[in-house]
Amino acid sequence: MTSTSNRTVVIPPRVSIPIGPQHPALKEPAMFKLTVEGELIVDAEVNIGYNHRGVEKLAESNTHIQNLYLLARICGICSATHNGNYAQAVESAAEVEIPERARYIRTLIWELDRIHSHILWLGVAFHEVGFDTAFMYTWRDREVAMDMLESISGNRVHHDMNTVGGVRRDVPDELVPKLLRGFDKLKERMRYYRDVVLHEKTFWDRVAGVGILETDVAKKMGAVGPTARGSNVPVDVRFNDPTQAYVPMMDTGDFEMILNDRCDVAGRTIVRVEETIQAIEMCSWLVKNMPDGPIRERVRPRIQPNEVLARHEAPRGELIHYLVTNGTDKPERIKVRAPTHANWVSMAHTLKGNYLADAPIILAAIDPCYSCTDRVVVVDADEQKMELVPLDVLRVRANKWYKENPRRDE
């Protein structure tokens, strides 16, 4: 006889599956410890910090011109954003205005960078759900954007177009028809991929309803970029706080911020694909309306003491460079807040309750860029031990330390 009181509840065995530090789904090292019951993720632990390179410390001993090239190498995919945003920061610290044509060229490089970065992401997303054919196709068409960047800047990956006071190279007039042809081709291809995303059932089934990040959670966790806009949070520096050639571009009123209220991976995908098409339109607007004039303003190497917070909408979200200058040709302090860093916070929440099979695409959906993000490994030389400090502990410690040691005398 069995009574209802001693009915046993069968709990599926919990298995802890490590994704990373080396894992085929991850292109860079990071560690996600997923606790799964069967196929369901019940707990997720995000553990980053395998790729810290000390760029900020190094930047303090370099001149501003050297830093342009150093910061471009923070990230291989969005190199133009770090490069351009730092140039923008130094210019505002020096309080100089750069020529109008330089603004347009800088913005053009930024938008081209966004195009190739988003297409790259789309390919990775296709690959994560096992749709390798579309992955190969998207990366083939990404070459169009890469070729355009190469013909403008001379480099495929690290464009290094910006300098303090303008840009290094001009866009020659004979290049303009070639660029416009490239934009037309890209636009046609991107419309095709939008159809693939929306109508290919096997892909759509893998992204729809997966990795839900509700609007209020996204706001609370401070998500940025397409991750936030895919959750219907209207944050886009290009529209909220335009700089450079975004100012006249937004004045035309032809462009609107792309938002999606699906709050899942599908929403993020749609936002990125639509944004790519919009970026192509922005690029052709920039090329068509580019004013004549000089491309560079001479800026003295010593920058007066100043404190600047430069914002720019990188492909992955809002990028912040906090720059303190001290009257020499080197920065006093440069702090980089890369967009991926802001998006990590919501990751554990997004992963929970999904299937293990969804983990790669959810991780990929914020377009993580670990090398922009990784912060600190504390190495204690006296005790010969290495300690990986998680973000929250680090924050607590940092606050405590700054309370005890005020950094600058006010």
- The residues binding another protein (CB under 8 A) are 15-18, 23-25, 36, 38-39, 126-134, 136-137, 140, 200, 202-203, 205-206, 355-360
Minimum Å gap between C-beta 49 and another protein is: 22
Tell me whether residue 38 or residue 154 sits nearer to another protein (CB atom).
Answer: 38
Residues 6+ apart with CB under 8 A from 304: 93, 94, 95, 325, 327
Give min distance, CB of 25 to another protein, in A.
4
In the bound state with another protein, the residue whose beta carbon lies nearer, of 165 and 360, is 360
Torsion sign across C-alpha atoms 24, 25, 31, 33: negative
Look up residue 178 and give its amino acid. Answer: K
Separation CA 259–CA 282 (nearest Å)? 17
To another protein, the closest distance from the beta carbon of 9 in angstroms equals 21
Compute the distance between CA of residue 125 and CA of residue 193 in angstroms, rounded to an integer. Answer: 12
Q: How far is the CB of 207 from another protein (least distance, A)?
A: 9
Write out 261-312 in H/E/C secondary structure.
Answer: CCCCHHHHHHHHHHHHHHHHHHHHHHHHCCCCCCCECCCCCCCCCEEEEEEE
In the complex with another protein, which residue's Cβ is closer, 355 or 401? 355
Return d(Cα 65, Cα 163) in angstroms, integer.
Answer: 7
Residue 23 CB, nearest approach to another protein (Å): 7
Q: In what order do the strands lie in the sheet with 40-47?
A: 14-19, 31-37, 40-47
Residue closer to another protein, measured from CB, 164 or 186: 186
Residue 93, Ramachandran bin (φ over 0: left; ψ between -120 and 50: alpha; else beta): alpha
Q: Which is nearer to another protein, 40 or 309 (CB)?
A: 40
Q: Where do we find the tokens 């219907």?
A: 232
- Nearest approach, Cβ of residue 206 and another protein (Å): 6
Cα separation, 139 vs 161, in Å, equals 23
Choose between 104 and 131: whose C-beta lies nearer to another protein. Answer: 131
